[in-house]
Structure 1
């Protein structure tokens, strides 16, 4: 009878560990889901970083140069310089 207890205990331990591998907190499907979420978040972070860089570059241009201010005034507000004629071509 003593010879059967050790293998039975080892098999029970193996079943428990195998169950944790497939159904527990650190299971294979759960880890796969977390990896997929991590990839999506990293993509989102990269897009946000690119947007932040564009905004930072625009802020730098606005602080340092007047060309961007003039370009924005012309394109968004329709402003023109003195002695300049504004011509709009409709397509």
Structure 2
């Protein structure tokens, strides 16, 4: 009887150990989930870095608008079409070159044939 109880205790310990291993490797918050979280973290970190770069540009733009008139003038020129007195406004077209689609005059078949002497 003594060995039977030790054997049962051993089986229970093995079952608990296997259950813990299952939870570690295949469970909801186990090793597989950890790898997925690392991948999601890498993607999120990349997005955060991109947003931080965009924020730096916006901060610089805000700083220019607060401290200098050059940025205000530039925005007024680009967005509102500001032209100072004495300046000449020149606008260049970036439209593709188009050709007229006027029909060519019809060719008279008698004029197209050379007369043979």
The reply to whether TM is greater than 0.5 is yes
The answer to which structure, 1 or 2, has the higher relative contact order (CA under 8 A, 6+ apart) is: 1
Matches within 5 A, 1:5-84: 5-84=8-87
More off after superposition, 40-49 vs 56-65? 40-49
Larger Cα-atom Rg:
2
SS at match of 1:80: coil
Question: Which consecutive aligned stretches of 4+ in structure 1 deviate over 4 angstroms post-superposition?
Answer: none
User: 1:66: how far off?
Assistant: 0.8
Tell me how many residue pairs correspond in the alignment: 91
Q: Can you give the 5+ residue segments of structure 2 that lack an aligned partner in the other structure?
A: 95-117
Instruction: Give the Cα separation in 1 of the matches to 2:5 and 2:62.
Output: 79
TM-score w.r.t. the length of structure 2 is 0.69
Pairwise CA RMSD? 1.6
User: 1:3: how far off?
Assistant: 4.2
Counting helix residues as a fraction of each chain, which structure ranks higher?
A: 1
Q: Can you give the 5+ residue segments of structure 1 that lack an aligned partner in the other structure?
A: none
TM-score w.r.t. the length of structure 1 is 0.85
